[in-house]
Amino acid sequence: MDAPSPSADPSPWMPFESRRRARDEKREAVLRTAVQLFLEQGYHRVTLNDVAERLNITKPALYNYFRSKDEILFECWALGQESVDKLIAEINKGGGTALAKLRKLIHAYAEVMTTDYGASLVRFDPRDLTEANRKTVRAAKKRIDRTFRRYLADGVTDGSIKPCDPKLAAFAIAGSLNWIGHWYQRDRAWSGEAVAGQFAVQLTEGLAASPARKRSPVTSKSRPAKGGRK
């Protein structure tokens, strides 16, 4: 790793490939440390010295991997966003009613929110980014929002969801989920999976169009064996 141990320092001229890998690993280590500190103390209260110190390197060394503090912030955010994008893509690929998809989305999104990178999606302030990156963030947020709204609208159309205002409903659901990123850090009474399961049920309970459906497909899906507290 980045430890200065002499034995771990075989040759300054490692093969190109492994050097690149080492570099990426260090980049990740920086992000891991940074995201933790940013969440713990808040972006503005964390100095690059704090980050460097925790990594046993010096401040300017960080500039080998990132061009600026806000780029670090952005990359943290990007890692979280990546998870969300992947998860949306996956759900979109899959089948099921709009309600089923929504449940999956809620479940997966909630779980992301219990991770550091996930929390950074809602805990970081885009105004700390450059205009360019801020635009990227805005676009991504819009994407997520549209996904929620689409599922809701589709659900109303395909009859799996009771008529409602998709925009407001999306806000309500997203709000519940995003809020996880704020309270989960300090209150780890449940596993991320458990929270996700609960929210998937709870947030869609009021949405399901009752008359048409007897069985709830999600119930059987919510992996009770895995993260459940038994």
Partner DNA sequence: TATGAATGAGCATTCATTCAT
Partner DNA sequence: CATGAATGAATGCTCATTCAT
**By the criterion CB under 7 A, which residues form the site for DNA?**
2, 13, 19, 22-23, 26, 45-49, 52, 57-61, 63-64, 67-70
The Cα-based distances of 186 to 39, 43, 175, 190, 216 in angstroms read 11, 18, 18, 11, 32
- Residue closer to a copy of itself (CB basis): 94 or 175: 175
**Contacted entry of DNA, a copy of itself, none for residue 185, CB cut-off 5 to 8 Å set by kind:** none
Other residues' Cβ atoms within 10 Å of the Cβ of residue 168: 11
Three-state DSSP state, 151: helix
> Which partner in DNA, a copy of itself, none is near 167 (CB below 5 to 8 A by kind)?
a copy of itself
Report how far apart, in Å, the C-alpha atoms of 16 and of each of 27, 28, 57 are. Answer: 17, 19, 23
Q: Which is nearer to a copy of itself, 27 or 141 (CB)?
A: 141
Choose the contact partner of 42 out of a copy of itself, DNA, none; CB within 5 to 8 A by kind. Answer: a copy of itself
Residue 106's binding partner among DNA, a copy of itself, none (Cβ under 5 to 8 angstroms by kind) is none
Q: Considering beta carbons, is residue 115 or 176 the nearer one to a copy of itself?
A: 176
Determine which residue in the list 21, 56, 139, 183 makes contact with a copy of itself, applying CB under 8 A. 183
Angle at the Cα of 135 from the Cα atoms of 133 and 150, rounded to 5 degrees: 125
Q: Hey, which residues does 208 pair with through a beta bridge?
A: 161
